[in-house]
Chain A
């Protein structure tokens, strides 16, 4: 089996506003709602919106299939959001089978920033459950750059990493960095890098929020 065939990792995210209200958002407002909540801090936005939105029964769906970007998301009138995307590292020949730790921190942070923008000021929402799943982790190497060297002691033996959190709306707005920061630390622990501190993770989150890439 080639390296390319061996690694096929994905991220799967859901955002679930509570209580459930089936017609929380009118069908015609779904795309605008995602556009207004979208996170555009770095070169690729979250979620990426391509010009192919299709209407489903009570939802919209958007797909991107281009270079290393393979993703699909769905947004329903209940406010339920689900997003699946292929690990971009597996679409770049020299990075197959790896996971960049800064990109992982930034992706997790973008998910929560997006969630807070989607529901932070929606009075029909009391709580939001955010779930995250990464699969295809077994034997995947956590990587960094020369500027941010990390010590990786072993490759992960578990293939899937799952986390879920339910936050009230105020916490979602106030603490959009805390939960993803903790999840990132937990992920790196599983991937053989337990030494990454909360301060290190937070500093990279701040770099994203402040758009400091240099």
Chain B
């Protein structure tokens, strides 16, 4: 059931660039019934009972790993976590051998986060198990992109025609890339804004508008997705200082209040309060940051369900334990 058959999404979820608009919409629709599971006193549906899932996190992550773990456990799967420290990878075992060993133990699904772009595809090409990309280098973080889409849809309705601006260090951001692909496929107008030193070359050729100043972006946008600025970017010379970054590009209350429309503000977390986003925005009425986290579990449940062979139209029945 968990192997490469005619499952709706194919064998793996490696990125939103590979999906069609129909597939993306189906994942979001499938997540709707699973939202409710997390609201119950007993948060359990047996949809993945008997499935073995490994969370292979070669890069540190708390929130994404916990989110996946909850999604897996709430659907009754057996889960095991591998983290980078203390793993065989530190003893020099290659990614190939890690993959083959997992497969030899007949793991059904692997959720992988790794520091090298392309590493999720690398794994998927070498093992039969379903592979879910939880973030590969700077390339994609598809479940984050999906939960961002779901959150925007919850609060602003259909994505098509919405103006969404991704703000910050787009150069190093897999969240940005997944967002760009997902939003464009669903018909949104997409823009990016940040210092040119943190913009990927040729980004305009992906079909996005580039704003050089945050004021222009806020003037234009319905939705802002604010990216975390990693503190080491200052040390590497991309920006002169964090203070300068906040003064020139920070999403501050004053700037948000000057927006012509009722801005929605997202952030993938964790936040650097006072750097890319001020606390009174993050905690204020425009922010849906916590809803993103809630939606994250539902979206991951939907993805696991679909990769395991579940049909989108049976998700509603599945959530009551009567599915597949």
A and B: bona fide binding partners = no
A residues with a Cβ closer than 8 A to B are none
B residues lining the A interface (CB < 8 Å): none
